[in-house]
Structure 1
Amino acid sequence: MSTRARLTAFFAALAALVVVASVLAIVLRPAASGAAAPAAFEISAGLDDCGAGWGPTDGGTAAVPGGDQTFTVTNTTVGGIEVYLQAVDSKRVYLDLESLGAGAHATVRASLGAGRYRFVCLPADADPARGPTVVVGAAPPGSALAPGIVPVTRNDLIPVAKAYTAWVAGRLPALQREVAAVAADAEEGDLPAARRDWLTAHTAYETLGGAYDAFGDLGDELDGLPRHGLTGFHLVESQLWHGAPAADVAASAHTLATLVGRLQAQFADAQLDPGEVALRAHEIVEDAIQDGLTGATDAGSGTELAGIDANLSGAAAALAPLHDVLADRYDALAGTQQAVAQAQALVDSFRAADGTWTPLSALDRTARERVDAALSRAAELLAPVAAICDPRRDS
């Protein structure tokens, strides 16, 4: 299983087993020294008692002081449930508890400003239940209020998935031609040209990271980490940079071209999960740090930085169709795009005018740390994108 597949499986299992608080929707922090203790409430989360324990009991409204609130939320149903704390007027979500099991409870804290709020309980197999409206007063001066987010639904993300799928599909024919050029070079005995064309083809493939999950096992055959066995791109790479005969390179390049042809045919019927594009934008950069920047992707060419450069192009391509979804939900969107561009500009500075790249092993400690810091900053800013765009049910 590839690194990406393992990460996907890990996050899926984690979401199924634990209560998850949205990265942006909730403020979890200890009370400041000398600050008043937060108001504490025992909240029921069920079909008939959603939100009970906070606010009115007779159909009216009740004022609750603003600022820090601590909620112990208990699932009173016989199945799993998701719970929102939502602003009635703006529909922004200030708390999102996922996969709260039957009878389970979770204690969380949020800091709320003045407004009207309610709990919304979303059982797996039933319509949402909405709790009573609660009026929250003004928060004390200096309170660090939870920003809240407008939930993103799967319907919001379907156009994103379609646009990104079309972008990937449009790049596969060029990838096929680029791999065929490697095979033709090798058949003519021109291995220097084959090396140049291999890098062009490989970096083109590395821009497609948002679709890797749809590639399945074929993706591992094409570009699995060298330590897991030399196949696809890395088999050709190893042969080109370790003195294999041109005939062997040509044979492997033809096999690679066949794999790319299979990928093109397979992807013609692919339907990306609408929830995956935002997650992949973040994972692409994480993988660049974990694999590319550690040298795990190298099979002899020393072109890890070229791969990282392509990964950053891929992250930007996955982020682009999310712009309209994120524009009014993520204040740091422009900063995130800038961080990805700045990281790419730094990495690109290690490419010479003739198109050759400085090997990762040739970077001194300061340069490595600068690249690591730039990639880490981009990954940090992309993490909330994945959280914001995690599809939520319409309440």
Structure 2
Amino acid sequence: MSTRARLAAFFAALGALVVVATILTIALRPVAVAPNAPDAFDITAGMDDCGRGWGAAGTAETDGVAAEAPAVRGGDQTFTVTNTTVGGIEVYVQAVDSKRVYLDLESIGAGAHATARVTLGAGRYRFVCLPADADPVRGPVVTVGKAPPGSPLTPGIVPVTRTDLIPVAKAYTAWVASRLPALRQQVAAVAADAEEGDLPAARRDWLTAHTTYETLGAAYDAFGELGDQLDGVPRGEPTGFHLVESQLWHGDAAATVAASADALLGLVDRLQAEFADVQLDPGDVALRAHEIVEDAIQDTLTGATDAGSGTSLASADAELTGAEQALAPLEPVLASRYDRLGDTRAALAAAHAVVETHRAADGTWTPLAQLSRADRERVDAALDRAAELLAPVAAICDPRRDS
């Protein structure tokens, strides 16, 4: 269910310059600048010339002591950055004292240029260049003067490192592991119901088990091929949960359902055993927090993952819970970095409320096809809002190499 490939294609389509403006609340945008504009600078970014061109000639950091270049005016600074290495490079502007990042340019190709603008207040700053497969290179320190009164300064953000995210990954891994025994018990109930010939009970228990599985979305990449077998999207031959779903809602014999449920139980047993040795990548949890809701919009709410039960809204509700569970261990990291964290939590709660209006008192859910146009628009808008607010989380928590 991962959309990592779609995200990679999206960012690649942006070209050599990837803008993290939404994430860092940075006013980063392509600009047309007169060649002799006093606050426009041609900057080189390489192993030996990182940050050269900002102000007058400066001296790169030597023996841990950086020489200051002559001061430049505060306010708008427009940089045309040229990658002078033979590979890709990431370049950012960082405050020397606070370590906050004010401009971040990712994936500038060899020999390529990127133009961006940032508004800086008084302080000491420098470019940091991160060539591919090489240590960070720190440019000369530049002293920036006071910005003109009323200038909307670009806020900076303290970058996140993999070290910051290790406790997040451990906490989320432990939570997923704690849910797997319940998932096994729920799948076992489906198999037992079918063996007894009680298919209505099997349908109810299938929904309970499947929604539990849907809450584990930030771990799907770690499940690998086993995850595909457990919850294969029913294009062609459904697998795992969706095979049992298809049989339960298309009139297959109880013995057939029981055999498939037993096979599903075996997959859950494998998952529980294999996950005991898994430690999620520290960067995955934040990425998946956004992807879970995006998957719900693109797959679940289009009916692409419905094999006959008509319970797509139940799945979407569970996926929202999954996003909340992925977000929870990130909150200590995000609290000082993302000023819309509270809005994000509220948007997820609001999306739950909208979706759950379509659950009846007996636990059944309205099928997507039976939603009115107005109801469908409300559901789509609620999940779109949550996805929009979660998008910055992935980029804020994209771990950066220590500079």
Band the TM-score falls in, shorter-chain normalisation: over 0.9
Aligned to 1:49: 49
Q: Structure 1 residue 203: deviation in Å? A: 0.1
- Could you say what secondary structure the match of 1:62 adopts? strand
RMSD between superposed Cα atoms in Å: 2.2
Query: Are the equivalent residues in 2 in contact too, given 1:38–1:68 (CA < 8 A)?
Result: no
Query: Are the equivalent residues in 2 in contact too, given 1:16–1:99 (CA < 8 A)?
Result: no
Structure 1 stretches of 5 or more lacking a match? none
TM-score, length of structure 1 as denominator length:
0.93
Q: Distance in 1 between matches of 2:291 and 2:281?
A: 15
Aligned to 1:370: 378
Q: Distance in 1 between matches of 2:239 and 2:134?
A: 48
> Does the C-alpha gap of structure 1 residues 242 and 343 become closer, same or farther in structure 2, counting only changes over 3 Å?
same
Q: Structure 1 residue 7: deviation in Å? A: 3.2
Q: Distance in 2 between matches of 1:394 and 1:98?
A: 15
Q: Structure 1 residue 101: deviation in Å? A: 3.0
Q: Distance in 1 between matches of 2:38 and 2:160?
A: 29
Q: 1:22 aligns with which of 20, 23, 29?
A: 20
More deviation, 72-81/198-207: 72-81
- Could you say what secondary structure the match of 2:363 adopts? coil
Aligned to 2:313: 305
Q: Structure 1 residue 89: deviation in Å? A: 1.8
Query: Are the equivalent residues in 1 in contact too, given 2:313–2:368 (CA < 8 A)?
Result: yes
Q: Distance in 2 between matches of 1:38 and 1:189?
A: 81
Which residues of 2 match residues 216-235 of structure 1 at below 5 A?
216-235=224-243
More deviation, 355-364/316-325: 355-364
More deviation, 77-86/22-31: 22-31
> Does the C-alpha gap of structure 1 residues 31 and 138 become closer, same or farther in structure 2, counting only changes over 3 Å?
farther
Q: Distance in 2 between matches of 1:161 and 1:3?
A: 17
Q: Structure 1 residue 342: deviation in Å? A: 1.1
- Could you say what secondary structure the match of 1:293 adopts? helix
Q: Distance in 2 between matches of 1:208 and 1:290?
A: 18
Aligned to 2:216: 208
Structure 2 stretches of 5 or more lacking a match? 59-66
Aligned to 2:127: 119
More deviation, 368-377/124-133: 124-133
Q: Distance in 2 between matches of 1:247 and 1:155?
A: 51
Q: 2:147 aligns with which of 139, 151, 161?
A: 139
Q: Distance in 2 between matches of 1:14 and 1:221?
A: 30
Q: 1:333 aligns with which of 341, 350, 354?
A: 341
Q: Structure 1 residue 124: deviation in Å? A: 3.1
Query: Are the equivalent residues in 2 in contact too, given 1:69–1:110 (CA < 8 A)?
Result: yes
Query: Are the equivalent residues in 2 in contact too, given 1:119–1:132 (CA < 8 A)?
Result: yes
TM-score, length of structure 2 as denominator length:
0.91
Query: Are the equivalent residues in 1 in contact too, given 2:355–2:379 (CA < 8 A)?
Result: yes
Aligned to 1:184: 192
Query: Are the equivalent residues in 1 in contact too, given 2:218–2:326 (CA < 8 A)?
Result: yes
Query: Are the equivalent residues in 2 in contact too, given 1:46–1:76 (CA < 8 A)?
Result: yes
What amino acid is the match of 1:187?
E
Q: Distance in 1 between matches of 2:286 and 2:176?
A: 15
Q: Structure 1 residue 6: deviation in Å? A: 3.6
Query: Are the equivalent residues in 2 in contact too, given 1:38–1:67 (CA < 8 A)?
Result: no
Q: 2:358 aligns with which of 338, 341, 350?
A: 350
Aligned to 1:7: 6
Q: Structure 1 residue 14: deviation in Å? A: 3.4
Aligned to 2:64: none
Q: Structure 1 residue 63: deviation in Å? A: 2.7
Q: Distance in 2 between matches of 1:112 and 1:371?
A: 41
- Could you say what secondary structure the match of 2:78 adopts? strand
Q: Structure 1 residue 279: deviation in Å? A: 0.5
Aligned to 2:84: 76
- Could you say what secondary structure the match of 2:3 adopts? helix
Q: Distance in 2 between matches of 1:384 and 1:338?
A: 15
Q: Structure 1 residue 348: deviation in Å? A: 1.4
Q: Structure 1 residue 44: deviation in Å? A: 1.1
More deviation, 203-212/105-114: 105-114
What amino acid is the match of 1:164?
Y
Q: Structure 1 residue 18: deviation in Å? A: 3.5
What amino acid is the match of 1:357?
W
Q: Distance in 2 between matches of 1:142 and 1:298?
A: 54
- Could you say what secondary structure the match of 2:332 adopts? helix
Query: Are the equivalent residues in 2 in contact too, given 1:15–1:99 (CA < 8 A)?
Result: no
